[in-house]
Amino acid sequence: MISAGGEPQVTVERKVRPMPDRYRNALGKYSIGRSADCVGCGDCAKLCPEGVHVKPDGYTFSLRPRDHLCIGPECAKTDHYCVAKCTKKALSMARNPTVDAMGDPRWTSDLILSTWHMAETGHAPKAGLEHRTGESGGGFDRIGFNFPEKPAKVDPAKIDTGLDLNRRGDGRPQVHIDLPVYGGGMSFGSVSIHTILAKARTAAAWNIFTCTGEGGYHDRLKPYDDHVITQVATGLFGVREDTIQRVRIVEFKYAQGAKPGLGGHLLGDKNTPAVARMREAVAGNALFSPFPFHSVYSVEDHKKHLDWIKEVNPRTLVSVKVSTPTDVDMVAVGSYYAGAHIIHLDGSYGGTGAAPDIAKKNIAMPLEYAIAKVHKFLVAEGIRDSVTLIVSGGARTAWDVMKAIALGADGVVIGTAEMVALGCVRCACCESGRGCPRGIASTDPELMMLMSLDWATQRLINLMSAWREQMVEILVKLGIPSTRELRGRSDVLYYAKEAQ
Amino acid sequence: MPDKYHIKAAATPGRFRRVGKFGSVDWREDCSRCTNCVKPRCIYDTYKKEAAYNRDPSTAVVPLYECRGCLSCVQGCTKGLLAIALNPEYLCMGDEYWKPDIMATTWNQADSGRIPVSGAGYRGRFHGPGFDGIWTDMSEIVRPTRDGIHGREYISTSVDIGHKPMRLSFTPDGKMVGEPSALIDLPIPLILDVPPWTIGGQALSKARLAAAKALKTLTVAPAAEVVGVPADQLAHLVPLVGSEGLGAAASILRQVRMVEFVDWSKALDLVAQAKAVNPGLICALRLPMQAYAADRILAASKAGVKVFHLCADLHGQEIGAEKPRHIKDAMREIHSRLVKEGMRDEVTLIVSGGIALAEHMAKAIICGADLVAVDTTLLVALGCRVCRGATGKTHEDHCAAEAGDLDTAYAAQRMVNLMAAWHSQLIEVLGAMGIREVRRLRGEVGRAIFMEDIEREAFGDLASK
């Protein structure tokens, strides 16, 4: 297949393969201790169905327990609880103190570890980890599904999670994606080329999209043109006619949820020669993206922007990424009348490579509120079925995605979940110096090599597979045959009372 | 255009023992001393600094707070001997309002004067009581925004304290009726208040005064502490006058620009006495934030007092109420009452208590204050951990701030740094909202999102459980 940019397109296999943690010691919620009383009988290895204990042939003793696979105290209810079954009482289990030092109320250690589990195995954890919600005490963490006792029968194999992105009927091509999820914009500079390419390869495997962010269009992305969104942001870094013409969707980034109303800022340390070359800037200098587009101060200006892109590429769809001010509903309607195919709301609790803490916490409304507000307003205006509403900035799990859809979104863009799948622990150190100490959000030549492209790609493919499984599970429980039909079904949701 | 207001920050590392969030646990007895040790590979050099510290205790390193919790060493150690744990001392700091993260960010800002910036998204709870139930607005597409922080546009953070008559009146022969309005123009919407307890004795008052001068703002000080204040600093001093009368403050009334009176019952008499000495003096009434505050403000305003300083408790709550309200709710009520009475623009409202972060300053103004007064956070900048004992005072015997020999210049610079960071953050908020001056932020509840309202609007139709 040849892209509109004339580039042969690469096919990536959509297949789950085990892809263990890239660090020597995978972290688990529980630690399994094996004392010197162990005689190496190997019974534990035969007993444990989770693969915690491994005793290879010819070994005298078992290997160090792979305790990240342990399901914890729940195992005591089963007949294969190694601690109880060990004849020498050599095994013990305790909560790993390190997991208390990772995570936060939004991304609990359970959510991080369960995302790692999904990225490793392609399936949700069976027990021991809360993989659906965090502990932030609001938004998605208080919204739940009211599953009917007797749902309509739905064949899981026939459940449709696809989404058509062009609803305007304006003669431009239809763009179909197989999941109601795609990857958010992350620029080269804020993340490594391996991260960017892994996202693009995953998009190709799952027939979804990834987005360039505003760091320009890297040559190595060209084999994935059909699954890349070119972002046009206020800095216009790397935006050229060529990068607009080679893709099926172009995204205008008016604002970013984590720093709404503020511009972007790539600190000088991360502006390496390679980054500077792509951005056509001077290496080592901090790079600012102003806010807003200084050419847009009205819906009419906004329409001129969209018309410009449509003129440059007559086959592309146009997405408009905005943040969530009080009048986000009016902004959405304005964008629709300006000609947007996709309105992309980015909630205030979304991810970023660097943002002032005051902005991340305080400016603009969290995504959950904005979805409901905008969906209701678009329905009232009679234009809901003429535009695709994509949301981002706070969806951490497959359950969050489905809640967002039930609140009124058509699909969800994710970012942090992908980073976590690649090994992010949310230490929040992406922004300065050499960048991410785990090599995900860094262009440092040494740090970026901490992660290989093949490893990263497979982790993301596995994550998407695990998420789709959970989407299907939710739809089966609800008796709804497709994610399209879940959209706006807030009647299947409940809002839990605030815990005292 | 007036000169752009600029606060000169200077790196001033804290001289107190910093408490870090993470601690590492190292089971060294099992270490095989392999050649693949993760410690030299820490990109923050935490272990190298620790080793240097062990070799030379005079090395200025506090290893505990250097760890960023990236867990690379924990996951990379050949034998899995390393663990990272939350530092229990960190978790014990402060209380349910003055949380450890507030201490840590305040210390960092006081070190450098820089805005706290980090990667990844927001990491806290979805919402919370008080100010944590407000989000500020931003401009999108159809409204202009202001690029203040990078200096491309000027955003004014100036406010006025004093009587602002709604109109001027003249006699038939053209002379103005009454005295011309006396206003104090502050370039930043905050003053420095008396902290609820003291550290470092007189040095703290001197540091506040020096910081107020550097910031071109004011500091409140008990009347007993005003004796001996250098003449060049008096313009930044606000003597606090109690029921005992003008006392020591009487001698400097001509030099100071503002006085605060505490005793409600004697306030009007004392104001008259003070005005007799210095007619241009701004006289403010200091009131506890209580349910009747709005009534008292209306009454006093009609009697001629036009500046009010409302003091909430350490947690921003009303004082003495059975079900105390937070500043956010109390200020909205007071502001609305004044608006309804047609008097809001005539008076100045200062609010203090529980103003712990820059965002609190912006949100208090949105709720109706003209400016805020900061108190406890000044102590935190100097290392205070708000570890008040049962007596309501800090543990004087082992104060973590080690402020017994507080250096005035050091303390003042840390206060200035903190306020510089707050000022920059205020500009971030104003810029995002597209507001060019902080005066226009006052009472702008339409440019904020209140949790109660948005929950009703967005989730009102969801089933409850």
**Residues in B touching A97 (Cβ below 8 Å):** 25, 83, 85
- Between CA B236 and CA B41 the distance in angstroms is 51
Q: With an 8 Å Cβ cutoff, is A156 touching chain B?
A: no
Give me B124's structure tokens: 């806290």
**Residues in A touching B104 (Cβ below 8 Å):** none
Q: Which chain A residue's Cα is nearest to B361? A: A358
Please indicate whether, in this complex, the C-beta atoms of B105 and A291 are within 8 angstroms of each other: no
Does residue A478 form part of some domain?
A: yes
Does residue A80 form part of some domain?
A: no
A68-81 pLDDT, tens per residue?
999 999 999 999 99
B150 versus A303: which is more confidently predicted? A303
Q: What mean pLDDT do residues B363-378 have?
A: 98
Q: How many domains does chain A have?
A: 1
- pLDDT greater than 90 at residue B178: no
DSSP 3-state helix, strand, coil percentages of chain B (rounded to 5)? 40, 15, 45
Q: Residue A116 in contact with residue A107, Cβ under 8 Å?
A: no
Coil/strand/helix, residue A346: strand
**Residues in B touching A291 (Cβ below 8 Å):** 145, 147, 431-432
B209-242 pLDDT, tens per residue?
999 999 999 999 998 888 888 888 999 999 999 8
Q: What mean pLDDT do residues B41-49 have?
A: 89
Q: With an 8 Å Cβ cutoff, is A33 touching chain B?
A: no
- Between CA B389 and CA B76 the distance in angstroms is 42
Please indicate whether, in this complex, the C-beta atoms of B138 and A255 are within 8 angstroms of each other: yes
- pLDDT greater than 60 at residue A238: yes
Of A291, A360, A493, the CB nearest to B462: A493
Of A97, A98, A357, the CB nearest to B116: A357
| Smallest Cα distance from A43 to chain B, Å | 24
**What residues contact B372, with CB distance under 8 A and at least 6 apart?**
B189, B190, B191, B350, B351, B352, B355, B360, B361, B364, B365
- pLDDT greater than 80 at residue A443: yes
- Between CA B366 and CA A197 the distance in angstroms is 45
| Smallest Cα distance from A34 to chain B, Å | 13
CATH number at residue A325: 3.20.20.70
**pLDDT class for A493, splitting at 50, 70, 90?**
very high
Q: Which chain B residue's Cα is nearest to A360? A: B122
Coil/strand/helix, residue B420: helix
- pLDDT greater than 60 at residue A363: yes
**Residues in A touching B144 (Cβ below 8 Å):** 292, 297
Does residue A74 form part of some domain?
A: no
- pLDDT greater than 90 at residue A474: yes
Q: What mean pLDDT do residues A215-241 have?
A: 93
Coil/strand/helix, residue A61: coil
**pLDDT class for A96, splitting at 50, 70, 90?**
very high
Range in A50-54, A464-468, B180-184, B423-427 with the lowest mean pLDDT: B180-184
**Cβ within 8 Å of A, B 308-367:** 357-359, 362-363
Architecture of the domain spanning B159-455:
Alpha-Beta Barrel (3.20)
**pLDDT class for A326, splitting at 50, 70, 90?**
very high
Please indicate whether, in this complex, the C-beta atoms of B138 and A254 are within 8 angstroms of each other: no
DSSP state letters, B259-321: EEE--HHHHHHHHHHHHHH-TT-EEEEEEE--TTHHHHHHHHHHTT--EEEEE--TTSB-SS-
Of B70, B139, B425, the CB nearest to A358: B425
Alpha helices in B281-434 (DSSP H): 293-302, 327-340, 358-366, 376-381, 408-433
Which of A136, A399, A499 shows the shortest CA–CA distance to B465?
A: A499
Q: What mean pLDDT do residues A275-294 have?
A: 85
The amino acid at B147: D
Residue B19: its pLDDT value, please?
87
DSSP state of B140: -
Give me A479's structure tokens: 């008796």
Q: Where are the domains of chain B?
A: 22-86, 159-455
Does residue A126 form part of some domain?
A: no
Residue B243: its pLDDT value, please?
84
Coil/strand/helix, residue A91: strand
Please indicate whether, in this complex, the C-beta atoms of B119 and A328 are within 8 angstroms of each other: no
A450-460 pLDDT, tens per residue?
999 999 999 99
**pLDDT class for B48, splitting at 50, 70, 90?**
confident
- pLDDT greater than 50 at residue B10: yes
Range in A335-344, A467-476, B6-15, B140-149 with the lowest mean pLDDT: B140-149
Q: With an 8 Å Cβ cutoff, is B30 touching chain A?
A: no
Q: Which chain B residue's Cα is nearest to A302? A: B141
Please indicate whether, in this complex, the C-beta atoms of A24 and B80 are within 8 angstroms of each other: yes
Q: What mean pLDDT do residues B109-132 have?
A: 94
Q: Count CB pairs under 8 A between chains A and B.
A: 281
The reported pTM is: 0.94
B300-337 pLDDT, tens per residue?
999 989 999 999 999 999 998 999 999 999 999 999 99
| Smallest Cα distance from A328 to chain B, Å | 8
Q: What mean pLDDT do residues B9-21 have?
A: 90
Of B43, B84, B118, the CB nearest to A434: B43
**What residues contact A492, with CB distance under 8 A and at least 6 apart?**
A145, A146, A147, A406, A478, A480, A486
Does residue A200 form part of some domain?
A: yes
Q: With an 8 Å Cβ cutoff, is B427 touching chain A?
A: no
* Residue B285 to residues A309, A408, B162, B166, B306, Cα–Cα distance (Å): 60, 52, 12, 21, 8
Q: What mean pLDDT do residues A488-492 have?
A: 97
DSSP state letters, A175-187: -EESSSEEEPB--
| Smallest Cα distance from B337 to chain A, Å | 25
Does residue A136 form part of some domain?
A: no
Residue B393: its pLDDT value, please?
46
| Smallest Cα distance from A224 to chain B, Å | 27
- pLDDT greater than 90 at residue B440: yes
**Residues in B touching A497 (Cβ below 8 Å):** 464-465
ipTM at complex level: 0.94
Q: Residue B86 in contact with residue B22, Cβ under 8 Å?
A: yes
Of A265, A360, A431, the CB nearest to B122: A360
Q: What mean pLDDT do residues B246-266 have?
A: 89
Q: What mean pLDDT do residues A312-319 have?
A: 97
| Smallest Cα distance from B278 to chain A, Å | 42
**Cβ within 8 Å of B, A 306-335:** 322-323, 325-328, 330-331, 334-335
Q: Residue A288 in contact with residue A264, Cβ under 8 Å?
A: yes
Range in A234-238, A327-331, A484-488, B76-80 with the lowest mean pLDDT: A234-238
Please indicate whether, in this complex, the C-beta atoms of B74 and A353 are within 8 angstroms of each other: no
**Cβ within 8 Å of B, A 378-397:** 393-394
DSSP-derived pairing of the beta strands B219-222 and B237-241? parallel
**pLDDT class for A383, splitting at 50, 70, 90?**
very high
Q: With an 8 Å Cβ cutoff, is B449 touching chain A?
A: yes
